Amino acid sequence: MSRRRWNFRYAGIFLAAAGLCLMIFGIFRGEMSVVFDKAVRICMECIGIG
Amino acid sequence: MAEKNTKKNSKKRKQISEWPRHRIQFLWALITNSYLAGFLQGKIYTGKLKNLCVPGLNCYSCPGALGSCPIGALQAVIGSRNYQWAFYVSGFLIFVGALVGRFVCGFLCPFGLFQDLLHKIPFPKKLKTFRGDRLLRKLKYVILILFVILLPMFLTDILGQGSPYFCKLICPAGTLEGGIPLVLLNPVMRGAIGWLYTWKNALLIAMILLSIVIYRPFCKYLCPLGAIYSVFNPISVFRYRVDKEKCTNCGACARACKMNCDPVKNANDPECIRCGLCKKSCPTGAVCSGWKSEKKETSHGKQAAV
Ligand code: SF4
Ligand code: SF4
Ligand code: SF4
């Protein structure tokens, strides 16, 4: 049981690191500009018009 | 004696007050939605901070929003012509989820706070659970897969762009934080409203009424962001634990939990929003939470170190 918990704990740290790597990869691919472009214009779908 | 008891009771009530958590929720909602000019002029913030996602469901079309909603951003990238998958946003969600899980739901989501406050409105018969409650909680995973991922990915227009279908057809946070203020403040928007606006407002009203009777119905049954974070609850670095040596199995924690979890059975249940009510209600202090390893936090050091 305790070994399982130990593994879970490290799984969390490993996944957080993997998430960080994915984020950096996405930023290098230029995905941040898609997010930015969408977020700085009023989103018609969000507000229920589009 | 009676006075002593009353004092004791009021102390107990004070102990399980949710206001310290609500203060953090308020503060976070204020910080992340502090673009005042937006509310005054019926516009939205267009600065560099919008490159970044906030952890909770916070519409980027809210006039005050400084950051981007991760669910909106996920659909925007998946539905864009140039990208099939959103590594930046999914990486962000994995990062946050793996660190704190649904702690975000308990502390850092304005729409969670909104439902918390609604549930404080008195109602003769509050519903803690009902038949089919557990099954209905799976619906949020269906919404995540269908409306946030598959439809924006495959239901595209001739240019190859997919709409953010969750935002368009479901999200009541978008209606509350973006739709209502912008339509009220902006005459151009007012002229453009149609059936979709009516539908989304009807959904929001239903959610508001339900929240008075049931604790956080949107979080329990519909929210795709909660669905994502819930997957990480069992493995996140920040976690809950029950010290079996201190626990007397009195059931106080399970009775206090508004998400219907039983920390003794599973301290990191996917449904747990890490609100801390169980911790406060435990008479022996057996429920604890934190980042530290098992060894440091509980008394079975030797066992945990194996
Ligand atoms: S409509 Fe909802 S999901 Fe879409 S961006 Fe706004 S808050 Fe996020
Ligand atoms: S389930 Fe969704 S709406 Fe509820 S608190 Fe979590 S992120 Fe916010
Ligand atoms: S198990 Fe505890 S921390 Fe989790 S939702 Fe229930 S009361 Fe809150």
Question: Token match 């140039």: residue?
Answer: B82
With a pLDDT cut of 90, the percent of chain A lying above it is 76
Domain boundaries, chain A: 3-47
E-assigned strand segments in A1-50: none
Nearest to B297 by CA among B252, B257, B253, B238: B238
A46/B61 CB distance under 8 A: yes
Give residue B59 CA to ligand 1 midpoint distance, Å. Answer: 4
The pLDDT score that the predictor gives to residue A8 is: 73
- For residue B173, the CA-to-ligand 2 centroid distance in Å is 10
Q: Which residues of B touch A13 (CB under 8 A)?
A: 98, 237
Q: Ligand 3 atom 5: the closest Cα is on which residue? A: B272
Tens of pLDDT along chain B (306 residues) come to: 434 444 444 444 445 899 999 999 999 999 999 999 999 999 999 999 999 999 999 999 999 999 999 999 999 999 999 999 999 999 999 999 999 999 999 999 999 999 999 999 999 999 999 999 999 999 999 999 999 999 999 999 999 999 999 999 999 999 999 999 999 998 888 888 999 999 999 999 999 999 999 999 999 999 999 999 999 999 999 999 999 999 999 999 999 999 999 999 999 999 999 999 999 999 999 999 999 766 544 443 333 332
Tell me how far CA of residue A27 lies from CA of B58, B86, B108, in angstroms: 21, 10, 24
CA distance linking residue B63 with residue B36, whole number of Å = 8
Dist. CA B280–CA B259, nearest whole Å: 15
For residue B167, how far is its CA from the centre of ligand 1 (angstroms)? 5
**What pLDDT does residue A4 have?**
54
Q: Phi/psi of residue B102, each to 5°?
A: -85, 15
Domains of chain B, CATH where assigned:
19-232 (no CATH), 239-305 (3.30.70.3270)
Whole-number pLDDT of residue B289: 95
CA–CA dist B306, B301 (Å, integer): 9
Q: What is the mean pLDDT of residues A21-42?
A: 97
Q: Kind and range of the H or E element at B75?
A: helix B70-78
Give the number of other Cβ atoms within 10 Å of residue B244's Cβ: 12
Q: Over 80: is that where the pLDDT of A5 sits?
A: no
Predicted local distance difference test score (pLDDT) of residue B186: 87
User: Of all helices (H) and strands (E), which one includes residue B242?
Assistant: strand B239-242
Tokens describing residue B59: 């519409």
Q: Which residues of A touch B167 (CB under 8 A)?
A: 43, 45-46
Interface list for chain A against chain B, based on CB atoms closer than 8 Å: 2-3, 5-6, 8-9, 11-16, 18-27, 29-32, 34-36, 38-40, 42-43, 45-50
Q: How far apart are CA B138 and CA B220, in angstroms?
A: 9
ipTM exceeding 0.95? no
pTM of the model: 0.91
> What SS3 class is residue B287?
strand
- Contact yes or no for B83 and A34 at CB 8 A: yes
Per-residue confidence band for A50, with pLDDT thresholds at 50, 70 and 90: confident
How far does CA B115 lie from the centroid of its chain? 9
